[in-house]
Amino acid sequence: MTGPETTFQERSAQPRVEQLPLAHVSIELGHLYMEDYAGGIEQLRRHFREVRPWVAAAHDRIAGVLGPGKSPRISTCFLVDDYFTTFSSPDEVIAQLVEAAGDNGLTIDYVAREAGCADAGDVRPAELVLDRLVADPQPGTDGVWPPPQDSGWLTNGDRPPGSSTQPAMSRRLGWQPPTENAKNRHSIFLAVEIFSEEPGGRQWSCPYLASVWQLLRLGMLRYEGRPVAPPQPVGDRLPSSWAEMPAILRLNPHAQPFSAYRTLSMLARRFQNIEAAVGVVLSQVNVDEEVRLQISKRAAGESFALPHDLVQRISYVFDGDTTQVL
């Protein structure tokens, strides 16, 4: 009979989990697609004109939460979709965004590439998050679908339409409705495709990349203890190609930190379904516990309320499609 095995490892051999500077809130001023830039700078000006009152309201709200004598740390960011469609160039697009925002009294501190959520140099954030997905099976069952790493799908419940746990030759039990795990009287069942296998390789879905984007903004991702896709200074000029541009570019040298305790995204109403899917994904991400504790302790030290649930740290303003001509 042998005794239990014991493994000894020097503490110095374990990668140190680095901390990030954190703002109180990261405000996303927009996320536009290629067609949204078709109207030129006037179309962008209209977008920022619609967003401006909500930014002012967010500043007032955070100042009120912090109380007298405390200055809110608020940073702004903008996400450009260069993953599904490559168009124009960063020097042209970012210059127009900065000018249109400035014309409405707004400053864009950071600009990010959506493709950077998939591949950020020596780190692939999307793969990193995929390894941390823990599917949420229905209570009392072992789930119907295979793991999301194999199927490319996540759900917030069980029994998606058209599926069955019965053997092919068994007696049919009739239609079984899908059910939400944490339903409130009635179910709202959501099934999210997180990737598809294409001839050119795996393609990540928009909701999944948006989930990675939120985790980056919340400062939750580390690779071997190091922060993932830290913002890079713009330097003397804007990049002339998307491939040349880092995942996150810091435009404002005086900006508050990119990552924050909470996020606020200002999006057109057409993004509602995508962001509902983001909630499904984030509710099933097992983030690094040391990172979670670091951020929670720092928020408590500032007396800044921070929910344990990551999804509850995310807020939205959904408005009409501000890029469309009225």
Quote the mean pLDDT of the chain: 87
DSSP-assigned states of every residue in 97-154: HHHHHHTTT----EEEEGGGGT-BTTB-HHHHHHTTB---PPTTS--SSPPHHHHSEE
The H or E element containing residue 230 is none
pLDDT of 315: 97
Read off the pLDDT of residues 255-312 as tens digits, 9 standing for 90 and up: 999 999 999 999 999 999 999 999 999 999 999 999 999 999 999 999 999 999 999 9
pLDDT of 226: 96
Give the tokens for residue 53: 């009152």
Choice among 71-85, 160-174, 211-225, 310-324 with the minimum mean pLDDT: 160-174
Read off the pLDDT of residues 107-143 as tens digits, 9 standing for 90 and up: 999 999 999 999 999 999 999 999 999 876 655 554 5
Instruction: Please state, in angstroms and rounded to a whole number, the distance separating the CA atoms of residues 31 and 47.
Output: 10
Confidence of residue 160 (pLDDT cuts 50, 70, 90): low
* Contact call for residues 76 and 249 (beta carbons, < 8 A): no
| Tokens 């400053």, residue located | 107
Read off the pLDDT of residues 80-99 as tens digits, 9 standing for 90 and up: 999 988 888 999 999 999 99
CA 297 remoteness from chain centre: 22
Instruction: Please state, in angstroms and rounded to a whole number, the distance separating the CA atoms of residues 44 and 21.
Output: 30
Instruction: Please state, in angstroms and rounded to a whole number, the distance separating the CA atoms of residues 280 and 258.
Output: 24
* Contact call for residues 281 and 45 (beta carbons, < 8 A): no
pLDDT of 34: 77
- Sequence-distant (≥ 6) Cβ neighbours of residue 164 within 8 angstroms: 176
Residues in the chain: 326
Instruction: Please state, in angstroms and rounded to a whole number, the distance separating the CA atoms of residues 189 and 183.
Output: 9
Confidence of residue 200 (pLDDT cuts 50, 70, 90): confident
Flag whether pLDDT at 217 surpasses 80.
yes
Average pLDDT over residues 155-163: 64
> What percentage of the chain has pLDDT greater than the value 90?
67
Rounded to two decimals, the pTM is 0.88
Read off the pLDDT of residues 236-253 as tens digits, 9 standing for 90 and up: 999 999 999 999 999 999
Flag whether pLDDT at 8 surpasses 60.
no
Instruction: Please state, in angstroms and rounded to a whole number, the distance separating the CA atoms of residues 316 and 27.
Output: 9
* Contact call for residues 193 and 318 (beta carbons, < 8 A): no
pLDDT of 326: 34
Strand 157-158 relative to strand 179-180: parallel, antiparallel, unpaired?
antiparallel
